[in-house]
């Protein structure tokens, strides 16, 4: 009887402190393979494996390209690489586009696990910011896997687990110190035999290809009117109410929340740019006015002064509009 023997764990802010409290409780004969994505900046010294190895009874290593994974072992996604699965129980690393501004991406690992191992998977989402991992957790649920979310009240950064709870009802909501014991029970369960949604398989296949074509993207969902914030290319709308997101054919993925946040930054930058341009225009008009006064052309000088004053008023209106917009966001 095949059991749930693939455990995938995702976290971002606060994860370095939370993860050891799970890994150190796993027994040496833990009957599952464990895969971890912790958001790590590419410029940071890769220290996570050393931290997780301390007092651990199971070996902890960086995932390696083409490595065949085994039970009782923890594999960590290396910095600046997505860790996914091939179709024959091997690890694959890619340098594909960032998903939700992250590489490694929690969603990519979770989605790949759902597509290749379906009901064998247990997905765990811990402390962090924003929502990388939420769509992947939905994919695991839809493929027949089990879903565990850290209690937001127990998380150092509750945003990520709280966003997960807005999108799905997990099998367990637990404090960090109770998760290892729950995993010990869940890995004994027989794997679920559920139909695998075609969209999960197709998107995971595109992840392995790194980039795709507009024709392939059209199989996943309708083209959106929104542009990709990373490459300015077209996007396609994927998922439903619980995991809606926007993906371009280069592989960048954003949620509506992220598009809203990044759009607000872009609007603020554009408004500041407009204020600066108007102020500079007013200064240029004043310079021209003084030049005309210097050569005795009073009428033209007055026209420049009037235009400069009108431009300064426009700049002030733009500044007040921007400040009002920021207050309401």
pLDDT digits (tens, 9 = 90+) for 86-135: 877 899 999 999 998 899 999 999 999 999 999 999 999 999 998 999 99
Q: What is the pLDDT of residue 44?
A: 64
What does the pLDDT read at residue 87?
75
The residue with tokens 């690992």 is: 109
Would you name the residues annotated as active-site residues? 12, 39, 132
225 pLDDT above the threshold of 80 = yes
Percent of the chain beyond pLDDT 90? 66
Mean pLDDT of the chain: 92
Strand partners, 152: none
In this prediction, residue 255 has a pLDDT band, given cuts at 50, 70 and 90, of confident
pLDDT level of residue 179 (50, 70, 90 thresholds): very high
Per-residue pLDDT at 22: 98
Mean pLDDT of 35-52: 86
Task: At 314, list the tokens.
Answer: 């426009």
Q: Is the pLDDT of residue 142 over 90?
A: yes
pLDDT for 168 beyond 70: yes
pLDDT at 329: 60
pLDDT of residue 214: 87
| pLDDT band at residue 45 under the 50/70/90 scheme | low
Residue 1 confidence (pLDDT): 77
What pLDDT shows up at residue 54? Answer: 95
Say what the pLDDT of residue 242 is: 78
Predicted TM-score (pTM) of the model is: 0.83
- The pLDDT, as a whole number, for residue 128 is 96
Residue position matching structure tokens 């064998």: 120
Identify the residue with better confidence: 255 or 21.
21
């Amino acid at each position: 009887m095949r059991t749930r023997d693939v455990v995938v764990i995702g976290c971002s802010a606060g994860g370095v402190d939370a993860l050891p409290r799970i890994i150190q409780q796993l027994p040496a004969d833990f009957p599952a393979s464990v895969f971890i994505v912790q958001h790590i900046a590419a410029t940071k010294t890769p220290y996570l494996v050393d931290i997780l190895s301390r007092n651990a009874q199971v070996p902890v290593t960086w995932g390696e390209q083409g490595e065949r994974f085994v039970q009782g072992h923890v594999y960590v996604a290396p910095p600046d690489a997505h860790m996914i699965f091939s179709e024959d129980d091997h690890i694959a690393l890619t340098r594909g586009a960032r998903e939700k501004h992250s590489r490694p991406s929690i969603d990519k690992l979770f989605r790949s696990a759902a597509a290749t191992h379906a009901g064998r998977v247990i997905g765990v989402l811990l402390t962090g910011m924003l929502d990388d991992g939420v769509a992947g957790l939905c994919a695991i649920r839809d493929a027949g896997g089990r879903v565990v979310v850290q209690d937001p009240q127990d998380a150092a950064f509750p945003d990520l687990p709280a966003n997960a709870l807005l999108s799905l009802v997990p099998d367990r909501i637990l404090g960090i110190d109770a998760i290892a014991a729950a995993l010990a029970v869940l890995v004994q369960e027989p794997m679920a035999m559920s139909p695998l949604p075609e969209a999960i398989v197709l998107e995971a296949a595109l992840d392995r290809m790194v980039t795709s074509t507009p024709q392939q993207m059209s199989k996943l969902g309708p083209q959106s009117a929104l542009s990709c914030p990373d490459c300015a290319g077209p996007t396609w709308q994927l998922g439903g109410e619980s995991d809606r997101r926007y993906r371009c054919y280069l592989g960048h993925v954003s949620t509506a929340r992220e598009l809203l946040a990044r759009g607000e930054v872009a609007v603020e930058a554009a408004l500041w740019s407009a204020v600066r341009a108007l102020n500079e225009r007013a200064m240029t008009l004043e310079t021209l006015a003084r030049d005309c006064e210097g050569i005795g052309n009073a009428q033209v000088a007055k026209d420049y002064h009037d235009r400069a004053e009108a431009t300064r008023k426009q700049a002030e209106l733009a500044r007040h509009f921007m400040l009002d917009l920021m207050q309401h966001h």
